[in-house]
């Protein structure tokens, strides 16, 4: 597919951006949307910009949850967003950890952020223009993954974002209190092609 047919997207970290940052979310009843999360996703939906979740989920490698359990958590996320008129277009997750757990999921990989693998897979599967796309995260690893993929970076101060901000240099292009404010700053830039 040629570059003209590709479109921008906004990649979203899950915990701390869309949902309350918790030590471990292992059950659907633990999923809680953050203030402004549904409004931010809804604004992307209305602008016809794909909203794609990219999340590290090493609880799989650690054996604390299986893919069926993770699917139930993501289904609950979808229900909560839908109740507020919003939806994500896809969810990509890394199940690996380089030093924790056992078996084939205990390994270094190219999909665990700060590596950019999840963004590259999503770009291939959804015909995305990475150079015109954005990543919204609350951690240094989200910004690093964005930069490694050639994606613009935004940091939200929800989740661990406030504590992580000092570690990130140079600072991301956008820093916002929460997702809806970040999306309000991103959408005009996408419309202007920057």
Catalytic residues: 13, 15
Copy the structure tokens of residue 121. 């897979």
CA–CA separation, 138 and 155 (whole Å): 5
> How many CA within 13 A on the CB side of residue 188?
5
Q: Which of 53, 19, 79, 37 lies closest to 183 in space, CA to CA?
A: 37
Copy the structure tokens of residue 76. 């609950």
């Amino acid at each position: 597919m040629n570059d003209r047919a590709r479109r921008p997207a906004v990649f979203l970290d899950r915990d701390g951006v869309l949902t309350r940052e918790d030590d471990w979310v292992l059950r659907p009843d633990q999923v809680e949307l953050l203030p402004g999360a549904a409004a931010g996703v809804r604004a992307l939906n209305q602008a016809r910009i794909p909203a794609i979740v990219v999340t590290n989920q090493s609880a799989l490698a650690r054996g604390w949850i299986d893919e069926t359990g993770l699917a139930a958590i993501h289904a609950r996320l979808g229900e909560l967003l839908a109740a507020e008129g919003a939806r994500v277009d896809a969810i990509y997750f890394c199940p690996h950890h380089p030093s924790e757990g056992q078996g084939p999921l205990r390994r270094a990989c190219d999909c665990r952020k700060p590596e950019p693998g999840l963004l590259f897979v999503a770009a291939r599967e959804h015909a995305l223009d990475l150079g015109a796309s954005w990543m919204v995260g609350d951690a240094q690893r989200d910004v690093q993954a964005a930069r490694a993929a050639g994606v613009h970076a935004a940091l939200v101060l929800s989740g661990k974002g406030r504590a992580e901000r000092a570690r990130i240099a140079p600072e991301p292009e956008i820093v916002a209190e929460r997702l809806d404010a970040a999306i309000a700053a991103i959408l005009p830039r996408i419309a202007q092609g920057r």
